[in-house]
A = this chain, B = another copy of it.
Amino acid sequence: MAEHAYNPLDSLVFLTNRVGRLLSSDIRKRAGNEVEGLYSTHMGVLVDLWMQDGLRQQDLVSSVIKDKGTIARALENLEKEGIVTRETDEADRRNKRIYLTPKGRNLKTVMLPHALKSMDEALEGMPPEEVAICKKVLQRMYKRLTQKLMHPVPANTTSP
């Protein structure tokens, strides 16, 4: 009985996915032609670089949660557009370091107002303390899920 009791609307899986996409698409609409040609993968890469410049390409793969090839080609395009540069890491020549150009850094100042406006409207009238708790929960989930991605299920650490 009650086999259909589960409602996606009560699920953080559903909610985070939909709200995330709705916010992104709303911001994208606001930005309009300022972000012409910048796909979601590009935006994901940029956000990471805004937090920390000079990341390795591999860092972006795991952070943005897209395929190696997808990131490689996204970076290729971003480089063509003059938004990032790629430099071989001389300390370990397998790695490439990704750096923002001035144009790439400037995109942050372009996007930020739109993002803030979008958030403001979506959160209008909600108690700030509840919003803060929501963020805290999501931050913890983010941290945990990311760690799991890095160290997926230690199989048997008991063997000699």
Contacts and interface: CB of A to CB of B under 8 A. Distances in A.
A137 interface: yes
Interface residues of A, number: 55
Interface in A122-138: 122-124, 126, 130-131, 133-138
A85 to B, nearest CB: 19
Contacts of A144: 121-122, 124
A15 B135 contact: yes
A112 B7 CA distance: 10
A35 interface: no
Contact of A119 (B9, B12, B130): B12
Contact of A25 (B24, B51, B65, B126): B65
Interface of A: 3, 6-27, 44, 47, 50-51, 65, 109, 112, 115, 118-119, 121-124, 126, 130-131, 133-142, 144-146, 148-149
